[in-house]
A and B are shown apart, each in its own frame.
Chain A
Amino acid sequence: MLTFMASDSEEEVCDERTSLMSAESPPPRCCQEARQGLEDRESAAQWRSQDSEEDLDEDADRYMCSGVPGQPSGLEEELTLKYGAKHVIMLFVPVTLCMVVVVATIKSVRFYTEKNGQLIYTPFTEDTPSVGQRLLNSVLNTLIMISVIVAMTIFLVVLYKYRCYKFIHGWLIMSSLMLLFLFTYIYLGEVLKTYNVAMDYPTLFLTVWNFGAVGMVCIHWKGPLVLQQAYLIMISALMALVFIKYLPEWSAWVILGAISVYDLVAVLCPKGPLRMLVETAQERNEPIFPALIYSSAMVWTVGMAKLDPSSQGALQLPYDPEMEEDSYDSFGEPSYPEVFEPPLPGYPGDELEEEEERGVKLGLGDFIFYSVLVGKAAATGSGDWNTTLACFVAILIGLCLTLLLLAVFKKALPALPISITFGLIFYFSTDNLVRPFMDTLASHQLYI
């Protein structure tokens, strides 16, 4: 449902150009189901089980999974820890990149800090004379937004339960189409305006068309992993920028807090919609929506074509080794990993060797909300970089802690609460306490 939520909100983006978008809510989750997957399928051919691990790992938006090949538990713990630091860095880099893009845009392009109306989901204005009224309005805005999100989540869980896959899939494609074409066009227009660069329409058309088409292919079908990751980061940044523009100030902060709480509840409570979605997906052994998860996983399969019926007859020929990423052609039908043939052909009796490097997956909603927090800090601080940097470090630390908890508890965990809590604490304390102190020190040229 996380994925559903995301696609839903994106679809709304598509629908309402003027009435604007809803917040993305899919709460993030970490999950680790590889072990279960493998235990279930130990008899199957190895690559098949690896496939289902992939399926299970390919969870909804905002799932963070550190897959560990099925091993006895002690070894598994070691492997988890051994991979732990690398996984953390594999997530630090894209999160940092997304935040850098958002902050750079906020600081240079005026468009995203101008107030030009509000979302239909935050109807109450914050231009009220009294503080109490403003607070009340922002709380009401938050309530409306969160209830819309909850309703959409439940709707999507229902859709998923009743197997309306085509509907969901089409929805997802529509959403990413809108994101990749419309928002890119607007963004490009604003950047060109800021730097006073002229671009003629044919060039613009060519650029946006190529960007969008390659993006659609990479995200929904197959493409080089790096390109897919880059596109996912870019669309997360675009969404975050739109939120930063259209959410009024106090509402944004309250919404961030409320989303973290909702995330916690939805993922950890037994009746939470996200948990139900994951469990349903597990029962059916299906992937959910690969298009809305950032994946740093690479799957290398070294072995004979025993696993791949299509290449059975071609054992004699040398194949080019390929590094394949997790990718799915259509919903519910995982594509089989392409076989990475050894350079020596014609060893039909050879045993299958498989090497698998598991990466981590983080849902795009996490990227979006982290970037919204840092972007808001950059937009509203009075040109102060210290606040932005403090929020950035706080979010990274939160992510680190969440991954540590994942390694310890080995179950689905939400990725938003800790990071957003740290981010909010550090935003408010840095803005109100540290900034005056550092400014006074700087004006007297004192160093601590």
Chain B
Amino acid sequence: MTAAVFFGCAFIAFGPALALYIFTIATEPLRVIFLIIGAFFWLVSLLFSSLFWFMARAITDNKDGPIQKYLLILGVLVSVLIQEMFRFVYYKLLKKASEGLKTINPDETAPSMRLLAYVSGLGFGIMSGVFAFVNTLSDSLGPGTVGIHGDSPQFFLNSAFMTLVIILLHVFWGIIFFDGCEKKKWSALLVVLLTHLLVSALTFISPHYGINLVSTYLIMVLMGIWAFFVAGGSCRSLKLCLLCQDKDFLLFNQRSR
């Protein structure tokens, strides 16, 4: 397909994540390190999920037929569980690390848990999106016609938008999850897990992109709003920010109103 498809889909899927990285993470070395460690944790969770699926397949002796489809669905659901488990493990690790940093460097401000929640969510999201989409992207540079056998010709666009929503969802889930852990609100964790399962389950109806994408984006908007309030935002601060009247922000940037 064309270079336009490649670049278009690449920027749709990874543009916001890249912008978030450049503007919020790239300047601070500690954040970059936590991002990469987050990506690593997601990778390890994927490894365990693949191992589970592989063993399940080996147990059923690789028979073809509907059993493979059920195994795949089971694999997806177990994978979601394992990912959230690793998010919890990463939370525990970060908690220990920030306590350690605080005792050693009492003067220097260690990153706050909220910031680490955001960074870890972004790490998970970037890794998840990249693993899901990069092979498809590289195929889009090669020759071919999309949908020649009756499949949807919007395959690449759909995948790109799905990748984008997954990345953003991971960011929001990270924030909500860590906040739930901090305040010991286990219901938040449960909601994160359930929405993740829901989003993955929605992709099972895959050729019907309309329902799939629209509902996933709805969930993302809801999660985004929840994460915004969890992270300390409020309607008032949003209004001040949009009208460029936020004093703290202006003072920080030394701009006049």
Contacts and interface: CB of A to CB of B under 8 A. Distances in A.
B76 interface: yes
24 contacts: A82-B105, A92-B32, A92-B36, A383-B138, A385-B134, A385-B138, A389-B130, A393-B36, A397-B40, A400-B36, A426-B43, A429-B47, A436-B54, A438-B132, A438-B135, A444-B72, A445-B158, A445-B203, A445-B206, A446-B76, A446-B206, A447-B162, A448-B76, A448-B200
B7 interface: no
Interface of A: 77-78, 81-82, 85-86, 88-89, 92, 383-386, 389-390, 393-394, 396-397, 400, 426, 429-430, 433-434, 436-442, 444-448
A397 B41 CA distance: 10
A224 B152 CA distance: 54
A446 B162 CA distance: 10
A427 B135 CA distance: 16
Chain B residues touching A, majority SS = helix
A442 B43 contact: no
A442 B76 contact: no
A440 B76 CA distance: 11
B47 A446 contact: no
Given A430-B47, A433-B47, 13 more contacts: A85-B33, A384-B135, A393-B127, A429-B50, A433-B50, A433-B51, A436-B50, A445-B158, A445-B203, A446-B72, A446-B76, A446-B203, A448-B80
Contacts of A82: 105, 108
Nearest to A446: B203
Nearest to A399: B36
B206 A444 contact: yes
B79 interface: yes
A263 B74 CA distance: 43
A167 B39 CA distance: 47
Given A433-B50, A434-B47, A447-B200, A85 B127 contact: no
B46 interface: yes
Contacts, number: 109
A394 B40 contact: yes
Interface residues of B, number: 46
Interface centre among A88, A386, A445 (most CB of B within 10 A): A445
A89 B50 CA distance: 31
B136 to A, nearest CB: 6
Interface in B113-142: 127-128, 130-132, 134-136, 138
B33 A437 contact: no
Contacts of B30: 85
Interface centre among B50, B128, B138 (most CB of A within 10 A): B50
B29 interface: yes
Nearest to A390: B43
A267 B132 CA distance: 40
A383 B199 CA distance: 29
B176 interface: no
A92 to B, nearest CB: 7
Contacts of B47: 426, 429-430, 433-434
A440 B56 CA distance: 14
Chain A residues touching B, majority SS = helix
The 3 closest A-B pairs by CB, nearest first: A89-B29, A445-B206, A437-B50
Interface centre among A88, A442, A448 (most CB of B within 10 A): A448
Contact of A393 (B32, B43, B83): B43
B135 A442 contact: yes
Interface centre among B39, B40, B166 (most CB of A within 10 A): B40
A82 B105 CA distance: 8
A307 to B, nearest CB: 32
Contact of B136 (A85, A394, A437, A442): A442
A389 B134 contact: yes
B22 to A, nearest CB: 15
Contact of B32 (A78, A89, A390, A448): A89
Contacts of A384: 135
Given A82-B108, A445-B159, A447-B166, A393 B206 contact: no
Contacts of A383: 135, 138
B72 A440 contact: yes
A448 B83 contact: yes
B60 to A, nearest CB: 14
Contact of B40 (A393, A433, A436): A393
B54 A437 contact: yes
B75 interface: yes
Contacts of A430: 47
Interface string B150-173: 000001001100100010000000
Interface centre among A400, A429, A433 (most CB of B within 10 A): A433
Interface in B155-205: 155, 158-159, 162, 166, 199-200, 203-204
B217 interface: no
A63 to B, nearest CB: 21
A437 B49 contact: yes
B104 interface: yes
A386 B43 CA distance: 10
Contacts of B49: 437, 448
B219 interface: no
Contacts of A81: 101, 104-105
A433 B138 contact: no
A446 B166 CA distance: 12
A389 B75 CA distance: 22
B91 interface: no
B12 interface: no
A74 to B, nearest CB: 10
Nearest to A447: B203
A398 to B, nearest CB: 10
B37 interface: yes
